[in-house]
A and B are shown apart, each in its own frame.
Chain A
Amino acid sequence: MSKIKSALAAMPKPVKIALWVLLALLAYALPLLEPPFITTPGVDFGGVLFVVTMYMLVALGLNIVVGYAGLLDLGYVGFYAIGAYTVAILTSFHANWPLLLALPVAIVATTISGVLLGAPTLRVRGDYLAIVTLGFGEIIRLVAVNTEWLGERKGISNIARPPSIGGTEGVFEIPHLNWDSGVPLLDFNDSTKFLVFGVLDQIPYYWMGLTVVIVVLFADYLIKNSRVGRAWEATREDEDAAELMGVPTFRFKLLAFATGAFIGGLAGALYASRQNFINPDSFLLLFSILFLAAVVVGGQGNRWGVLVGAALVAYLPQRFREFDDFRVLVFGLALVVLAVLRPEGLFPPKRTVRAKQLEHELDELEEGTDSEGEEKARA
């Protein structure tokens, strides 16, 4: 594993970029390839993949709050719900806005709710914060259940879908692969219209979700490698020491909460748009737990880890649907096994490996040049 990593690190930049692009293309093409074993029997594969991207998005957002800033948030589904309900109200229930107009409003509303929740509650630490956020998630759901203006238990239907490109027929059609005969064949009877957001074909939603995930992933990288990311980490490690080193910890905790809420709201809004229908049961406490499970399973603090965690948490129960109710049991068992074997998650942030590598490189540079060497290695 580490050999592969160092081999990858040694590659020239264009090759690396090409590899990344290839990986992304593969991810985009996944529902078209319909590879055997991976596709989900009995459920629409594109739809499952869309849900996977939503979990990924949520996990990235929650990772900022839990993984980077170290704030245990058990009510993250509340932000998801606020994003979804804002879109639902603006595009169907009380107004008739197009999705692209409602989406930014939903994100802003969720971010503000994150600040409103955080401002009073971030003064408490650890377990207390977990309890307060747990309450928040439930309150949002109960408000939705009991408010006529929010559709009560009936929920809200006819939520706007994303605008299609090229009318109802799309610009062009992409055939899927068919593996029935053992070899992959192009199946022209089964094709996806580019880019039609309809009822039956879920693949365009997946593409939309995946695109948003990639953008958020990139943003996450940029923010993490900056003063903001360092302040979050320092606050997580030792809040008092951070404060005494000049980090306005409260402000940065609030920022982490708002950023997490931003991403959670975005995911909720996209989810509502695909689902076309939401009711309070879409935002049970269970989902907060699952989101957190995705982050913890993957390895909190590692953005690639939480992506894998999200993919597993969203995908495995769908893949093994034939087990019926047992799949939840199996899923629970898997989590317990994981907690025992890899308590820090599948992919904990591997900083020691990088640290060792760089130390080695520095030593080599030290021998050659005098003091300019490590400066260059840093740049």
Chain B
Amino acid sequence: MPDAHILEVDQLTLRFGGLTALDNVSFDIKEGEILGLIGPNGAGKTTCFNAITGVYKPTSGTISFRGESLAGKKRFEITQSGIARTFQNIRLFPTMTALENVLVGADAQHSTGILSALFRLPKHRREEEAGHRRAMELLRFMGLHTKADELAANLSYGDQRRLEIARAMATNPKLICLDEPAAGFNPQEKRVLMDLIRKVRDQGFTVLLIEHDMRLVMGVTDRIVVLEFGKKIAEGTPAEIRDNPAVIAAYLGVEEEDAS
């Protein structure tokens, strides 16, 4: 099924008091694609992310993941069911090592409780071993394996960003949501990151990407959804978006600026 939808956002509306952050936004994500979510500052991209991952409850509209509505699910349950995310402002666990950060992610699919930990039951051993193996695999994938025992707070900025992606991937998601993963990167680092995101997709993850940098978005995504002032103004392939007048207006401004 090439067109299987993994996530469907249907007429999603989110209001905070008088402010409408998202207004009737609908889009869907196909399995195995990289979907870009772009728009000017304050367009509602991160709000959209927060609604998908359960941080905000939608005012109206539905979000369904693999055919199941996410309404009423707790945040950790959404993660366990297969949606992982990174944060716009890095939110690692600073006093834990890189490896431990990734292990926390891997633990999302585990169920070791206090008794199996205390008595070192087979479940604890099995999950601990599988978790460590997967975590080291991901750290190596991100090029962080030599820093596995470094505290997250001591890592460089770029390494912290990569560690966040590794931690999200460790929860074994179907859909991985990256919130401006290239923020603060220089062009060279952005290119490396683009390749990395493609490799993430090639491993079988579906990727939802928020990004400011148009060149990065155009280069890596399969499809793009454009938000402005909480509304969806365009959707299509990178080439279609590039030539869409509404998008150009949103990004470059309209006539007034032409006149000046």
Contact = CB atoms under 8 A, between A and B. Distances in A.
What is the size category of the interface that chain A forms with chain B? Answer: 35 or more
Nearest to B100: A230
A201 interface: no
A311 to B, nearest CB: 25
B75 A244 contact: yes
Interface string A231-275: 101100110111111111100000100010000000000000000
A378 B132 contact: yes
B160 interface: no
What is the size category of the interface that chain B forms with chain A? Answer: 35 or more
B88 to A, nearest CB: 12
Interface string A351-363: 1101100110011
Contacts of A187: none
Interface in B93-136: 93-97, 99-100, 103-105, 107-110, 112-114, 117-118, 120, 124, 127-128, 131-132, 136
A247 B74 CA distance: 11
B108 A245 contact: yes
A63 to B, nearest CB: 15
A47 B235 CA distance: 77
Interface string A195-225: 0000000000000000000000001001101
B134 to A, nearest CB: 12
Nearest to B107: A227
Contacts of A246: 76, 79-80, 105, 107-109, 171
Contacts of A223: 114, 117-118
Nearest to B85: A244
B186 interface: no
A370 to B, nearest CB: 11
Contact of B146 (A226, A243, A244, A359): A359
B140 interface: yes
B167 interface: yes
Contacts of B100: 230, 233
A2 interface: no
A152 B167 CA distance: 55
Nearest to B80: A246
Dominant SS among interface residues on chain B: helix
Contact of A245 (B104, B131, B148): B104
Contact of B149 (A240, A359, A375): A359
B79 A245 contact: yes
B198 interface: no
Given A244-B85, A246-B79, A248-B76, A362 B154 contact: no
Interface string B180-222: 0000000000000000000000000000000000000000000
A138 interface: no
A245 B170 CA distance: 9
Given A228-B112, A233-B95, A246-B108, A375 B151 contact: no
Given A219-B118, A243-B76, A249-B76, A231 B104 contact: yes
Contacts of B154: 352, 355
Contacts of B136: 374-375, 378
Contact of A226 (B80, B124, B168): B124
A228 B117 contact: yes
A246 B53 CA distance: 11
Nearest to A238: B91
Contact of A238 (B76, B93, B124): B93
Contact of A366 (B76, B110, B146): B146
23 contacts: A223-B114, A227-B112, A227-B128, A227-B131, A230-B107, A237-B94, A240-B91, A242-B93, A243-B75, A243-B76, A244-B54, A246-B76, A246-B80, A247-B76, A349-B95, A355-B149, A362-B148, A363-B146, A366-B146, A371-B140, A374-B148, A375-B136, A378-B136
Given A233-B95, A245-B79, A371-B140, 18 more contacts: A226-B112, A226-B128, A227-B110, A227-B117, A228-B112, A228-B114, A228-B117, A230-B100, A241-B93, A246-B105, A246-B108, A249-B76, A259-B114, A349-B95, A352-B151, A354-B149, A355-B150, A374-B145
For the complex of A and B, the 8 pairs showing the least CB-CB separation, nearest first, are: A246-B108, A226-B117, A246-B79, A237-B93, A358-B149, A241-B91, A227-B112, A243-B75
